[in-house]
Chain A
Amino acid sequence: MNRSTDKFLTLFQEAEAHLEQLLPLGQRRLKARATFEHVGFPMQKMEKWRNSHLRTIRETDWVFERTQPAVDKTQWPERFRHAPVFVNGVAESDDFWEERTDGVQIGSLRAALKHTPQRVFDHFNKNNKEDLFGTFALNTLLVTDGLWVYVPKGIRVETPVLAVQYSSGKHHAVNHLRHILVVEEAASVDVQMLQISTPDDNHFIQDITECFVADRGIIRRHVLQQFQGETICFSTAFSTQGEASEYHSNVTTLSSHNTRNEQHTRFDKPDGVARLGGLYLAAEKERVEHQVFIDHAVPDCESHEKFAGVLSGHAQGAFTGHILVREDAQKTNAFQASNNMVLSDDARVRSLPFLEIYADDVKCSHGATVGKLDDEALFYLRSRGIGAEEAKRILLTSFAAATLEDVEDENYKQFVVDEIQSKLAAVSQ
């Protein structure tokens, strides 16, 4: 058993009673403990963990904090200041729960477990792959709360559902969250989440989002990450899709310390579409990684991946895009692009496409670029009277904004572009 595994098992033992009090999962935690013991916490040498930074996790004595800090919202983007907040893993409001007349449920997982336990357990862990990586079983072991969204058949939720995942504290605490988004047949929802930490934060956050998209349903998931301090965040989404369904995921990382984003998508029925985008702006010694796994298990589905990074200073970025096209998945269309802009000599980026194709009638493409700002374009803009700094900012913003092309909510898109612009103004100088 490796050191990290041992440490987290001890932590669980100490916190078990409190965890169960917060979110009673009973046997599910014990089962996860067995799986975690068996699978173990990931190790650097593992193929899909090579680019992750695990040393700090291994060397830190993690704790479980029982008290919640006061929340300072003044530093947040205005858009999210009135959204429900998860503070260090638990909803700020004790009973964050809304059940609309049309049957739509929006609330915390803790509240959902009280109001609709059967439905929660019909979905909890159904998409999570506990035996794939130890981190996923660990999440079940330590989870305290998360966002619950349920949309019944035929209902289209018009207003985006906003939430904030907030982390603050300097005692090396763990925050483990589980978000569950369920849309039934021909239903749709747009969820927008801000993940933010305070400058003194040094928590280890692990959030898992399980998305269930039924036939002809649509889930749009947007995440904006703004980690300050020394926050470590592993953020994973699992999605499964029904017939002719759509799943959109867009993760924009404005700032980070050590972030690993994962997306696991599986098509269970034909004619599904998945559009996955990610952008990270990494400066100084920031590390950001994207791991994407798309399982084309059935025919006639399409997946589009559009990821980009802008790196400066000593930043490190990585993208691993694994596309699996199973033998029966004929007429699959899978496209993958990972484009990176490296602004300094010391920044590093790794791009690893990984295509595993067993069907013969498929269209798959992947492309990876690593480049610098285009001098010709820079000169063109300057020759029209635009100053050098402004020209750089325009080019970087347009490069970065390309990952937002598939975002439907124009307000959100503009909001993120503005955030990108102000971050780039700082980075490009």
Chain B
Amino acid sequence: MSNNTLLEIKDLHAEVEGKKILKGINLSIPAGSVHAIMGPNGAGKSTLGSVIAGKEEFEVTHGEVLYKGRNILEMDPEERALEGVFMSFQNPVEIPGVSMPNFLRTIINAHREHRGEEPIAPAEFLRLMKEKAAFLGIEKMIRGRSVNEGFSGGEKKKNEMLQMMLLEPQFVVLDELDSGLDIDAIRKVSEAVNQMRSPDNAFLAITHYQRLLDYIVPDVIHILVDGRIVKSGDKNLALELEKDGYEMML
């Protein structure tokens, strides 16, 4: 592991309900980079994201996920989040009755408390929330609404980006960020990601299609097939895929 590595996955095997999904993943993601995982449906892309975020229904049978040198598989999901790991969900869940502003303030304060800071001042919170929401164009809809409730597909993804911008995580998994989005929405969420890119953080973009990678340009692309990374390369790999499809990898 080089000094610069933010996330390292070592021989990761995972299964759900006895079905083997990940069959030995090795991956090293340095700070300051964007890696993309592409692959056909059922290859295990989303499972990889969920295992990193800490979803309990996936059982890791072998391997490690080292984040800043610590094995996060031993941490609760909330601990991973507080340490700077963030996943943008493919299908963000609706939570009726929990208002957006309350939710956002709660998660911001959870992170501040973890860092030993005072809770955010109400005025500062409002300013920050408005600023980020305005950037994403969802300023109106987060007022008086419950978390993700009645949001369109695009609004849900923008809400994920809003949380990402407010929490400023160091390692971000983008699980099918482009699914169900029109081209304007893809541009907007990509802009949110690109704005956040820095030498200190890294992104893992999970996607089925190449088009997202026109906007979030990756440093490395990995092709995941049947639970294994079968090929890695630069951004041109996506173009090859676009031309020939996943068939050539099988």
Contact = CB atoms under 8 A, between A and B. Distances in A.
Specify whether A and B are partners: yes
Interface of A: 374, 376-377, 379-388, 390-391, 394-395, 397-399, 401-402
Given A394-B98, A395-B95, A388 B76 contact: yes
B154 interface: no
B98 A379 contact: no
Given A379-B77, A394-B98, A394-B106, A385 B93 contact: no
24 contacts: A374-B93, A379-B56, A379-B77, A382-B77, A382-B78, A383-B80, A383-B86, A384-B110, A385-B78, A385-B81, A385-B107, A385-B111, A385-B114, A385-B167, A386-B107, A387-B76, A390-B110, A394-B106, A395-B95, A398-B96, A398-B97, A398-B146, A399-B97, A402-B96
Contacts of A395: 95, 98
Interface string B62-87: 00000000000000111011100011
A380 B95 contact: yes
B163 interface: yes
Nearest to B83: A385
A310 to B, nearest CB: 13
B82 A385 contact: yes
B24 interface: no
B40 interface: no
A374 B53 CA distance: 18
Interface string B108-129: 0011001000000000000000
B107 A398 contact: no
A383 B111 CA distance: 12
Given A379-B55, A379-B56, A379-B77, A386 B97 contact: no
Contacts of A391: 78
B137 to A, nearest CB: 22
A384 B81 contact: yes
A380 B94 CA distance: 10
Contacts of B96: 398-399, 402
Given A383-B54, A397-B97, A399-B96, 16 more contacts: A377-B93, A379-B56, A379-B77, A380-B93, A382-B54, A382-B76, A383-B81, A383-B87, A385-B114, A386-B78, A386-B106, A388-B76, A388-B78, A394-B98, A398-B98, A401-B97
A374 to B, nearest CB: 7
Contact of B93 (A376, A386, A388): A376
Contacts of B146: 398
B163 to A, nearest CB: 6
B215 interface: no
A380 B163 contact: no
A75 to B, nearest CB: 29
Interface string B45-67: 00000000111100000000000
Contacts of A401: 97
Contacts of B107: 384-386
A384 B76 contact: no
B97 A382 contact: no
Contact of A398 (B53, B95, B110): B95
B92 A380 contact: yes
A394 B104 CA distance: 13
A183 to B, nearest CB: 31
B151 interface: no
A417 to B, nearest CB: 10
Contacts of A383: 53-54, 77-78, 80-81, 86-87, 89
A402 B97 contact: yes
A377 B98 CA distance: 11
A402 B149 CA distance: 14
A374 B149 CA distance: 15
Nearest to B110: A385
A394 B95 CA distance: 10
Contacts of B86: 383
Contacts of B163: 384
A374 B98 CA distance: 13
Contacts of A397: 97
Contacts of A384: 78, 81, 107, 110, 163, 167
A382 B81 contact: yes
B192 to A, nearest CB: 17
Contacts of B114: 385
Contacts of A374: 93, 95
Contacts of B167: 384-385
A374 B95 CA distance: 9
Ordered nearest first, which 7 A-B pairs have the shortest CB separation?
A398-B97, A385-B81, A382-B77, A385-B110, A384-B107, A376-B93, A382-B78
A384 to B, nearest CB: 4
A381 B231 CA distance: 35
A380 B89 contact: yes
Contacts of B56: 379
Contacts of B93: 374, 376-377, 380
Contacts of A380: 89, 92-93, 95
